[in-house]
Structure 1
Amino acid sequence: MSESTIRWESDADGVVVLTLDDPASSANTMDDAYVTSMGATIDRLEAEKDSIRGVVLTSAKKTFFAGGNLGSLIQATPETRDQVLAQVTLVKSQLRRLETLGIPVAAAINGAALGGGLEIALACHHRVVLDDPKAKLGFPEVTLGLLPGGGGIVRSVRLLGLTTALLELLLRGQQLHPSKAMELGLVHELAGDRDELVAKARAWVLANPDAAQPWDTKGCKVPGGTPSTPSLASTLPAFPANLTKQLKGAPYPAPYAILSAAVESLQVDVDTAFTVEGRYFVDLVTGQVSTNMIQALWFDLNAINGGASRPAGPERYAAAKVGVLGAGMMGAGIAHAFAEVGVEVVLKDVSTEAAQKGKAHVEGLVGKQVSRGRMTPESADAFLARITPTGDAADLAGCDVVVEAVFEDQALKHRVLGEAEANALPDALLASNTSTLPITGLAEGVQRPADVVGMHFFSPVDKMPLVELIVGEQTSDAALARAYDVVRQIGKTPIVVRDSRGFFTSRVFGTMVLEGASLLAEGVAPMSIERAALQAGFPAGPLTLIDEVTLTLPLKIRDEAAKAGATEDHPGVAVLRALVEQGRTGKSAGKGFFDWQPEKRVWPGLAELFPTSDAVPFADAQERLLFVMAVETARCVVEKVLNSVEDANIGSIMGIGFPPLYGGVLQYIDQYPGGVAGFVARADELADAYGERFRPPAILLERAVPAGSLRVAVAS
């Protein structure tokens, strides 16, 4: 088997070490080569088992096993259902044969075992894992619209119990560190290094010749019982309702399929349970939601993080010393992000005292890490020592990157950037965290406009994974490449957009929240608007979001756009003005669409200002929030603000809360029933009923044919 992905080595004691090592890839995955190799390996084990005392399964890669082959899974369709079911059934049958060989099998888990990797490990009787922070274990399938289809549900619920498996492993896709996995009962031993790892696994198989899985042992009971156990049966009815509450009503099929497969699998024998699990898996993998989520959150995301939007010429770059201008919550968050990866940071504000307040915010974030056991006090002290608060621009000396995060005022930004340019290194990258002001205009305040780039972080910086890089008219490829590399250096995902007012994320986000205000003016009840958004998959409703960003910000953006010559206005603007005139400016003031004190509730006065009616169907309200963002994004493509589908999809999901179940804002158009043509027809209906802002632009009309694809159009 020269092309086998599994190496076979046996020793004098009769222990066979099987090493997963795909010669064609840097990681092991459940592709066709693996299935063929595992089938041949199981055949040999069965043929030679009388001379084998035990089996140790490990890996030669940095990770133990990377899981299913997403390139194959994303191609699954309802028409290929039978082939997909046959393949997943074969994978499961191989692992079932492995665990029922009649000889002990131990997994020596040397790195991450996620998805299919953990399923392979669970098919072993004993699991030893390398005690390394990078060696995470879990089932992240739900985050891609799938469920563990290789026996992961069946084995985990029998091993851990239904409630623990669902809450700690399956429904949220947690990735567990080795110590947590051992505490949970997912693994049995920890090892300090690779040699100890294999040695412990080998010692265990020699000491346990009669090993068998708990579910294959007579009289074995599932922890917590089965659905027929009275104590568990009494709590089961609450699971679907709690799941709906957790998902806020969003139509994600995977969590419900996981819950159903888990409950049903405990009501039948283990082999029938594998069949139940397989059918639910195939339902998901041939559905549109998993296709959308795999495309966006795996392929599109990996393309961006791999440098798809980075200029190819310039060499890779890493910042050594960063100056952050403005020590408010945003500036402090940016300082935290750089200090976290070992970069020296100068945090500058109008005075040292003001800068120290920003550092205090970082101290609070670090303190939480220490209190949760995720950082030692010594590491925390070293972390904080990397941040120097100051009110003196001269302290920016030696900075190779400067990021300004002051108020959205062009004159102020000109002043602080010019000051930084005069004190930092002569070729320092000059970045602005502006969310709306054109970068080309900001670059007019410095001597080196080619080194100016927009670097738009999202709040809170420590939690939000996206950074929007904005290319001004004079921004050089070298500056963009450095900015791209710096964002990757701090572990965030950079999307690249061209300069315009509002860029991509702020511009498209603004259309969604203003649409929510328009719905209010048209008679839709406030909580119906919020529910429409939540049940469409948005993380929060538009009225809540406007309150959180303040009602004055969208108005200021609109006023600035009007000064720059924009004539089109959104009907939602009048709603915001009406509330601001009554002093209701948002959450920070304690009152906007909602009264926020003592607890959040709809302001009763809204009913007087905007009486409710049933003029807008609930389904229309949902689609208006989605369509207005999609149509505006298509306009961004036409205007060359966006140059890639990947930037649009990932930017919309990670930056402005577009529902991941649709795969991002442009994927939403492609996957709409009827494709682009179906989307165009529906957009025209909405435009006729509710306004020209829904009218599809030319690029959509050009692709409105049965085989049309916006992804193909943008790429070409």
Structure 2
Amino acid sequence: MTDSTIRWEQDADGVVVLTLDDPSSSANTMNDAYVRSMGETVERLEREKDSIRGVVLTSAKKTFFAGGNLDSLVQAGPDDRERVLTQVTEVKRQLRRLETLGKPVVAAINGAALGGGLEIALACHHRVVLDDPKLKLGFPEVTLGLLPGGGGIVRSVRLLGLTTALLELLLQGQQIRPEKALKLGLVHELAADRDELLAKARAWVLTNETAQQPYDVKGYKVPGGTPSTPSLAANLPAFPANLTKQLKGAHYPAPYAILSAAVESLQVDVDTAFVVEGRYFVDLVVGQISTNMIQAFWFDLNRVNGGASRPDVAQKFSATRVGVLGAGMMGAGIAHAFAKVGVDVVLKDVTVEAAANGKAHVAGLVGKQVSRGRMTQEKADAFLARVTPTADPADLAGCDVIVEAVFEDQALKHRVLREAEQHAAPDALLASNTSTLPITGLAEGVERRDDVVGMHFFSPVDKMPLVELIVGERTGDAALAKAYDVVRQLGKTPIVVRDSRGFFTSRVFGTLVLEGAALLAEGVAPMSIERAALQSGFPAGPLTLLDEVTLTLPLKISDEAAKAGSADDHPGLAVIRALVERGRTGKSAGRGFFDWEPEKRVWSGLAELYPPRDATADDAVPFTDAQERLLFVMAVESARCLEEQVLRSVEDANIGSIMGIGFPPLYGGVLQYVDQYPGGVAGFVARADELADRYGERFRPPAILLERAVPAGSLRAAVRA
């Protein structure tokens, strides 16, 4: 067992402790070395089982086991089907041999057990886990377009029951804490520390001479029954219907594959069930959607959070006292974010009453946590004590970070930033939460322009994981590094973009909603526009989004751009103006494209203003064109941002588009959409030209795409080169 990733230690009582410890990595994964090592280990256990009392499986890493080898999985294509099937079959075969050894096998789970880690643990007869609230267990594969392919579906549905396994573990990729895992029956015991963890595991081995999995015992009945059980069979049709409703018709194959594998695996014996699960797994692995999602949510996200866009400034920064200017919903949300990570916050507004209202919003968010049992009242009181409402700028003394979150008015922002600069720490970071106003212009209002940076949070702040950092003409590397560190301190993801009107996210989001309005003017029915977006994977339709942000906002942005000499003649603007002129300004007013009271309904007057065309008419917009127009208009504009160096990297574009403006995750982000389009960049360019010829020059691909339009070309590879 030379160079094994599994250490073997056997004590005088015959208890073998197997310690997962890959010497080549900081985490254990299902790489080739693990497969080889587990194969050798199982063979030795079988050879020497007469001298073995039982087995304890644990880990030397901070995590128990990190899961599958994503480096390999992301590269798998249709031609790799047999290779992937052979690999996953071998992984399952080894774990099956372990659980049928005839000796008690216990998992001593000392750290996170997600994906493959939980699959290894479920192949053990007994599971003890550290009672650490930071430790998580679960099957997050669905969030990467995959399913648990190492036996996770087969074992979890048999141990927990079909409904519980699907709803609590598999379909949404929940990551649960030890206490809940114990309640579900996923684990059997909790341990206070590592010594107790190993002691409890060893004790269970010594009190059980033999062991079988429950589902290997003759007469075992799966909790809740199998698909042939009348009560369960009656409810099965609701599962795919609910899935379709939750996914809003978007093409995410993984949840459906999980459901199919779970149901089908309960209708056959265990070993056949593993075969069923494996086939569904391979179908997903070699498909494009899993490649897209692994690339985005593992490789791109890790690169962004790992500091790829952070300037090379050695000293890491940590905020200790933050001043938030403006106590509206956004300012209060930002104050909540800082207080949540233990930072003292001065929440300033023009009056103490206004600032107190902002703190009340924070209190409401904290109160929800208390009511749901996620926070004690004592911790909630300490949380709120960190937020000080004020109207006195002198209270900003000692603040090492200032975040301005007042109305989108440059003169007002100049005034509050200048005032804060005079009272805060002499080297305080001066950040603006503006979503559209150029940072270079805002920096003109203060003396220390090198310390000014855009820090664009997304609403609601407590739920949105992204922050867009905007670099002005004078923003220094030290300020940008500080801002990056602050965002990571908040546990959020920072993307870095160059200063321009609308930056990246607001600029590209605007193309989506305006295209929705343009489709309406071309005779596409309102709900067809919404369905085109939802079935493409967007979280909401463009007309709904316009109503939610208010229809006056894109008009204001357009008017400001016109003043700056950048006129926009997008056909969607005329539609929005027509509604605003009729007093229909959006959801906040109760009426826009939709009437929002007493419930959301399409405004009947839209059909008179913009009569829907017969779908069979020669000039009707095909549904597929409507879908691609929403996707392409964002991708083309993002390519322009890359060409203009507003965007610094493909990774920032992909993560920013998914986490900030709702680009469909199934495509892996807005620029991954270009690369993965059939034919690569060349295929995308050809289709973009078709859309431009029929619907307008806004779809015309920019030079950066034309230069890379080679057969199966990759925008990502070209940009990195």
TM-score by length of 1: 0.99
Paired letter, 1:686 = L
CA contact (8 A) 1:110 1:194 kept: yes
Looking at structure 2, the residues matched to 591 and 473 of structure 1 have their Cα atoms a distance apart, in angstroms, of 41
CA contact (8 A) 1:643 1:714 kept: no
Describe how 1:289-308 pairs up with structure 2 within 5 A: 289-308=289-308
**Which residue of structure 1 lines up, in the alignment, with residue 559 of structure 2?**
559
Matched, 1:54 2:59: no
Describe how 1:99-118 pairs up with structure 2 within 5 A: 99-118=99-118
Paired letter, 1:105 = V
Give 1:133 deviation, angstroms: 1.1
Describe how 1:30-429 pairs up with structure 2 within 5 A: 30-429=30-429
Matched, 1:431 2:436: no
Deviations 1:591-650 (A, max 9, x none): 100111111111111111110013111100000000000000000011110010000000
**Which residue of structure 1 lines up, in the alignment, with residue 718 of structure 2?**
713
Paired letter, 1:561 = A
**Which residue of structure 2 lines up, in the alignment, with residue 499 of structure 1?**
499
CA contact (8 A) 1:292 1:661 kept: yes
CA contact (8 A) 1:314 1:481 kept: no
**Which residue of structure 2 lines up, in the alignment, with residue 24 of structure 1?**
24
Matched, 1:666 2:653: no
**Which residue of structure 1 lines up, in the alignment, with residue 701 of structure 2?**
696
Looking at structure 1, the residues matched to 509 and 559 of structure 2 have their Cα atoms a distance apart, in angstroms, of 17
Which one of the candidate residues 642, 649, 652 is aligned to 1:647?
A: 652
2:506 counterpart SS class: helix
CA contact (8 A) 1:151 1:277 kept: yes
**Which residue of structure 2 lines up, in the alignment, with residue 7 of structure 1?**
7
Give 1:568 deviation, angstroms: 3.2
Deviations 1:154-188 (A, max 9, x none): 00000011111111100000000001111111011
Matched, 1:634 2:639: yes
Give 1:329 deviation, angstroms: 0.5
CA contact (8 A) 1:314 1:478 kept: no
**Which residue of structure 2 lines up, in the alignment, with residue 577 of structure 1?**
577
1:234 counterpart SS class: helix
Unpaired runs of at least 5, structure 1: none
Paired letter, 1:636 = C
1:539 counterpart SS class: coil
Unpaired runs of at least 5, structure 2: none
CA contact (8 A) 1:435 1:502 kept: yes
Looking at structure 1, the residues matched to 25 and 317 of structure 2 have their Cα atoms a distance apart, in angstroms, of 27
Give 1:314 deviation, angstroms: 4.0
CA contact (8 A) 2:682 2:712 kept: no
CA contact (8 A) 2:170 2:258 kept: yes
**Which residue of structure 1 lines up, in the alignment, with residue 468 of structure 2?**
468
Q: Judge which range, 329-338 or 237-246, deviates more.
A: 237-246
Deviations 1:272-293 (A, max 9, x none): 0000000100000010000000
Q: Judge which range, 409-418 or 19-28, deviates more.
A: 19-28
- Which consecutive aligned stretches of 4+ in structure 1 deviate over 3 angstroms post-superposition? none
1:255 counterpart SS class: helix
Identity of aligned residues (%): 85
Deviations 1:17-72 (A, max 9, x none): 11111111111110111111111110110011011111110111111100001111
1:665 counterpart SS class: coil
**Which residue of structure 2 lines up, in the alignment, with residue 618 of structure 1?**
623
Looking at structure 1, the residues matched to 542 and 205 of structure 2 have their Cα atoms a distance apart, in angstroms, of 58
Looking at structure 1, the residues matched to 534 and 461 of structure 2 have their Cα atoms a distance apart, in angstroms, of 24
Describe how 1:403-552 pairs up with structure 2 within 5 A: 403-552=403-552
Label 1:306 to 1:17 Cα distance change in 2 as closer, same or farther (>3 A).
Answer: same
Paired letter, 1:639 = E
TM-score by length of 2: 0.99
Looking at structure 2, the residues matched to 607 and 573 of structure 1 have their Cα atoms a distance apart, in angstroms, of 18
1:437 counterpart SS class: coil
Give 1:509 deviation, angstroms: 0.2
Describe how 1:597-612 pairs up with structure 2 within 5 A: 597-612=597-612
Looking at structure 2, the residues matched to 380 and 2 of structure 1 have their Cα atoms a distance apart, in angstroms, of 53
CA contact (8 A) 1:653 1:660 kept: yes
1:75 counterpart SS class: coil
Paired letter, 2:628 = E
Looking at structure 1, the residues matched to 596 and 244 of structure 2 have their Cα atoms a distance apart, in angstroms, of 25
Q: Judge which range, 120-129 or 567-576, deviates more.
A: 567-576
Looking at structure 2, the residues matched to 403 and 647 of structure 1 have their Cα atoms a distance apart, in angstroms, of 22
CA contact (8 A) 2:17 2:56 kept: yes
Paired letter, 2:713 = G
Looking at structure 1, the residues matched to 135 and 103 of structure 2 have their Cα atoms a distance apart, in angstroms, of 27
2:640 counterpart SS class: helix
Looking at structure 2, the residues matched to 715 and 443 of structure 1 have their Cα atoms a distance apart, in angstroms, of 31
2:275 counterpart SS class: helix
Looking at structure 2, the residues matched to 526 and 133 of structure 1 have their Cα atoms a distance apart, in angstroms, of 46
Paired letter, 2:158 = R
1:474 counterpart SS class: coil
Give 1:567 deviation, angstroms: 2.5
Looking at structure 2, the residues matched to 584 and 568 of structure 1 have their Cα atoms a distance apart, in angstroms, of 22
1:445 counterpart SS class: coil
Looking at structure 1, the residues matched to 426 and 210 of structure 2 have their Cα atoms a distance apart, in angstroms, of 71
Give 1:124 deviation, angstroms: 0.2
Give 1:313 deviation, angstroms: 2.7
Looking at structure 2, the residues matched to 271 and 2 of structure 1 have their Cα atoms a distance apart, in angstroms, of 31
CA contact (8 A) 2:558 2:568 kept: no
Deviations 1:513-558 (A, max 9, x none): 0000000111111111000000000000000000000000010000
Looking at structure 2, the residues matched to 209 and 467 of structure 1 have their Cα atoms a distance apart, in angstroms, of 56
CA contact (8 A) 2:109 2:127 kept: yes
Paired letter, 2:642 = V
Looking at structure 1, the residues matched to 719 and 576 of structure 2 have their Cα atoms a distance apart, in angstroms, of 35
Looking at structure 1, the residues matched to 87 and 76 of structure 2 have their Cα atoms a distance apart, in angstroms, of 11
Looking at structure 2, the residues matched to 689 and 627 of structure 1 have their Cα atoms a distance apart, in angstroms, of 14
Paired letter, 1:29 = T
Q: Judge which range, 561-570 or 213-222, deviates more.
A: 561-570
Which one of the candidate residues 685, 688, 696 is aligned to 1:683?
A: 688
Deviations 1:108-129 (A, max 9, x none): 1011100000000000000011
Give 1:148 deviation, angstroms: 0.1
Deviations 1:300-329 (A, max 9, x none): 000010000000134111111100000001
Give 1:491 deviation, angstroms: 0.2
